[in-house]
Amino acid sequence: MTVTIVGAQLGDEGKGGVVDVFSDAADIIVRYQGGDNAGHTVVEDDEEYKLSLVPSGAIRGKIGVLGNGCVVNPRTLFTEIDKLQDRGLSPDVRVARRAHVILPYHRVIDGIEEDTKEDDDLAAGTTGRGIGPTYEDKAGRRGIRIGDLLDPEVLRARLEYVVPQKRELLSSVYGVDPDEIEDPENAFDIDALYEEYKSYGERLKEEGMTVNSGAFLTQAIEDGNKVMLEGAQGTSLDIDHGVYPYVTSSNPSAGAASVGTGLGVTTVGQGEVIGVIKAYLSRVGTGPLPTELGDIDEQTAGSGTTAEDEIASYIRDRGGEYGTVTGRPRRVGWIDMPMLRHATRTNGFTGIAVNHIDVLAGLETVKVGHSYTLDGEEQLTMPTTTEEWGQCEPNYREFDGWDDVDWKQVSEQGYEALPENAQEYLDYISSELSVPVYAVGVGAERDETIIRKHPF
Ligand code: GDP
Ligand code: IMO
Ligand code: MG
């Protein structure tokens, strides 16, 4: 059986924590899309793990698989595995031979293209990990796959085809000399790339890390193993269903759990699909955000003085909404129900996990964007273009707030121990989406999640 965990909003909903809580009963955890643009947090006994590539189940010693739908940076992968080993874990990670490889030139091009787009307000505020350029090469049929790293002759041939094109792109389109790029080093040097990536292939081979992911997982399920499919990013960052072009370049939504692993849609469809929802919105990238609270620039400058700015700063501080790499404050907003209705339809959620209920504690009033008004009409779901989304005026509903309580105690006692107003808030979300609440997050630690129904 499978359980698929999907972000319902704009990423960072707390998927890593939900995967951790439910993966006690799983045998294998699989990432099906994205790469090291993800940052999934697991907190166990005060130890915090931030995982960008290794599936979150590694913390519990489960087998982790990077499915064929992922884009894998071997540099990051091995650094992350080595660091986890230094912390006393022994992550067992398998990588699909059909997964595509992120090369140093992808990261360089990601940065240059973002800079270029900035003038036209088209920059997505990417993580700079080379995700978009790698998926472009995959679709352009000029990508290098994990399987190619295992065969030096094929690797060489692929590099010889693609690197001259990348050099030309840099010099002729962007006016940048590829030999002047210092970080990362040798990004456009065929010989250096060949030596380095061949050696990753050797390590993958020596450690028996590569798999035919569809065959491996299907067999595992036939043998009675339980498989968890861990989505990265969120539905509104989906390249098809998100707020294009301010999206990532893969499909975080549940359909990709089949395509990105090689498991049949019927297999994934017979399982559970859990939508992970943050009790408010946070956004690291650019683009419209109808339910945004105040103005991020003013809040950052410390000049934000409106009531909304104050609420945003309150939520941001309590929720630790600062970029993990840059420390940059994230944009914050009220929950957006049209976004969640869209996500529920797109993914077919069988259950939801609502996180960060503790973060909102102490506010007098908690608002939700119940619907939008667009061109004088009420809309219950997201419009198809991002321009229209930007024109949507949210219609808010207000809920009485709840106080801070001993959240650890609440999670021990269960759902009924939650403050009544928080329960009302959760019941509203659940009934609007017609999906039951499986879990409620009231803190970052493993034992700060209330489990109402275990999907396995
Ligand atoms: P992911 O990308 O969806 O896995 O989420 P991230 O790990 O990037 O961001 C979620 C952050 O919130 C992490 O620091 C988590 O430890 C933390 N977190 C998760 N659930 C909760 C919760 O219910 N309450 C609080 N206060 N923090 C949470
Ligand atoms: P997790 O898995 C939040 C955003 C970036 C940018 C856009 C495209 O931790 O929830 P990319 O580097 O993917 O080309 O960037 O997507 N983004 C995320 N935002 N959480 C993430 O991952 C994200 N991964 C990408 O900020 O707007
Ligand atoms: Mg994250």
Domain-by-domain residue ranges, the chain?
2-95+210-274, 101-204, 277-451
Q: Is 115 a catalytic residue?
A: no
pLDDT, tens only, 9-18: 999 999 999 9
Query: In 10 A of CB 185, how many CB atoms?
Result: 10
- Would you state the pLDDT for residue 324? 67
Ligand 1: which of 10, 355, 425, 446 to mutate, most ligand atoms within 8 Å of CB?
A: 355
Q: Residues 297-313: what's their mean pLDDT?
A: 87
The pLDDT tens digits for 319-373 are: 999 876 667 889 999 999 999 999 999 999 999 999 999 999 999 999 999 999 9
- Is the domain 2-95+210-274 a CATH 2.40.50.100 member? no
Mean of per-residue pLDDT scores for the chain: 96
**CA of 34, closest atom in ligand 2:** 13
Query: Measured between alpha carbons, how far is 448 from 55 in angstroms, rounded to an integer?
Result: 21
Q: How confident is the model at residue 178 (pLDDT cuts 50, 70, 90)?
A: very high
What DSSP string runs through 244-279?
TTSS-SS--STHHHHHTTT--HHHHHHSEEEEEEES
Q: Do domains 2-95+210-274 and 101-204 have the same CATH topology?
A: no
Q: Which ligand is nearest to the CA of 34?
A: 2
Q: Which atom belonging to ligand 1 lies closest to the Cα atom of 40?
A: 4
CA distances from 281 to 175, 234, 277, 294, 354 (A): 39, 12, 9, 13, 12
pLDDT in tens, 363-400: 999 999 999 999 999 999 999 999 999 999 999 999 99
Q: Residue 337, Cβ neighbours under 10 Å: how many?
A: 24
Name the band, by pLDDT with cuts 50, 70 and 90, for residue 118.
confident
Token pair for 272: 């559970």
> How far, in whole angstroms, is CA 234 from its chain's centroid?
5
The verdict on whether 40 is a catalytic residue reads yes
- What are 208's two structure tokens? 């028996």
Q: Binning pLDDT at 50, 70 and 90, where does residue 247 land?
A: very high
Query: What is the predicted pLDDT for the residue at 388?
Result: 97
Which pLDDT belongs to residue 289? 96
Return residues with CB closer than 5 A to ligand 3 (ion). Answer: 12, 39
Class of domain 101-204: mainly alpha
Mean pLDDT of 173-187: 92
State the average pLDDT over residues 293-309. 86
Q: Which of 126, 135, 246, 330 is the pocket-test mutation for ligand 2 (most atoms within 8 Å of CB)? A: 126
Contact 49, 42 (CB under 8 A): yes
**Ligand 2 centroid distance, CA of 205 (Å):** 30
Cβ-proximal residues to 161 (8 Å cutoff; 6+ apart), any chain? 142
Question: Quick check: 417 pLDDT over 90?
Answer: yes
CATH architecture label of 277-451: Alpha-Beta Complex (3.90)
CB atoms within 10 A of CB 203: 14
Atom of ligand 2 nearest to the CA of 13: 10
Confidence label for 252 from pLDDT (cuts 50, 70 and 90): very high
Q: Mean pLDDT over residues 247-256, rounded?
A: 98
pLDDT at residue 106, as a whole number: 98
Q: Is the dihedral of CA 377, 383, 387, 393 positive or negative?
A: positive
